[in-house]
Amino acid sequence: MLKALFEYQFLQNALAAGILASIVCGIIGVIVVEKKLVMMSGGIAHTAYGGVGFGYLFGFEPIIGAFLFAVSAAFGIGYIKRKGGARSDVIISLFWSLGMALGIVFIALMPGYPPDLSSYLFGNILSVTKSDLLLMLFLTIIVTAVIGAFFRYWKAYLFDHEFAAILGMKTTFLEYLLLVLIAMTVVVMIRVAGIIMVLSLLTAPAALAAFFSNKLKNRMLLAVIFGILFCLAGLWISYYLNIASGACIVIISALSYFAGFAYKAGRTRYRKRKGMKVR
């Protein structure tokens, strides 16, 4: 595959896409896992499907439509949740279903034959184009820069948002900002893992990194490394076996987490039997 990497542009694009997706997943995924926002992230991701259909119906890049719908869902979920108008799980489920339904309706309204949406639903890293890469690079730079600029605030916000508010931090701003960053991350990952399987790549590297470090910065770095390894392994397997790349990446991510969980559980039991301190 190394030789083919230098010969084929689509493999080079796939490698770059995997690295960019891993960077944003590693950074945002740690925050998502720590703040227990996994299902909210899933709601934002599935709402993006409406944007894909919207883009196809009105003749512009579907990934741009996915971005617009994902950001709108992030603001909508955040606003309704803060106003206390409904339970958060109800809001998420409604946005989740509405986005998928709108995507189906928009595609049905298109004249002629409907497009193949499997790469948006299940991911196909081998079909990433240069325009996709440019958007992914732009969003990755924004996410990384924002997290870096507000890193001290994120640590306080993750530790205790009420305590952060007492210290004078604008927790409302941080919450909305986080939701928008999640929406950006989802858009970056759509072509890699797909809307349906995006949660695995968002959470597995971050959750696995938590087994090895308690420090926020170290966990983000480890999550990025794990994400890159998962994407490279999934890309290699999908290329040689000619199967869906997104599915390969997700399977490797999930199995790696389960292996890490088993190792952690076994290590904890061993230390307890030996009367050692459990960390």
Question: Could you give the CA distance from residue 265 to residue 126 in angstroms, rounded to a whole number?
Answer: 36
Q: What is the rounded end-to-end Cα distance, in angstroms, of the chain?
A: 41
CATH class of the domain comprising 2-273: mainly alpha
Helix (H, G, I), strand (E, B) or coil at 15: helix
For 39-53, 159-173, 207-221, which range has the lowest pLDDT when averaged over its residues? 159-173
Contacts of 112 (CB under 8 A, 6+ apart): none
SS3 label, residue 126? helix
Confidence of residue 38 (pLDDT cuts 50, 70, 90): confident
CA angle centred on 124, ends 235 and 179, rounded to 5°: 105
Asked if 9 contacts 148 with a C-beta cutoff of 8 angstroms, the reply is no
- Tens of pLDDT, residue by residue over 237-250, are 887 888 877 788 88
Average pLDDT over residues 247-260: 90
Q: What angle do CA 223, 235, 178 make, to 5 degrees?
A: 35
Under DSSP, the state recorded for 211 is T
- Report pLDDT for 276: 62
Mean local confidence (pLDDT), 142-169: 78
Three-state SS at 235: helix
Sign of the alpha-carbon dihedral angle for 143, 201, 54, 77:
negative
Task: Quickly state the pLDDT bin for 145 (edges 50, 70, 90).
Answer: very high
Task: Look at the pTM and tell me if it is higher than 0.75.
Answer: yes
Contacts 24+ apart (CB under 8 A), 263-268: 263/211, 264/211
61-100 pLDDT, tens digit per residue, is 888 898 899 999 888 888 887 776 557 778 888 888 998 9
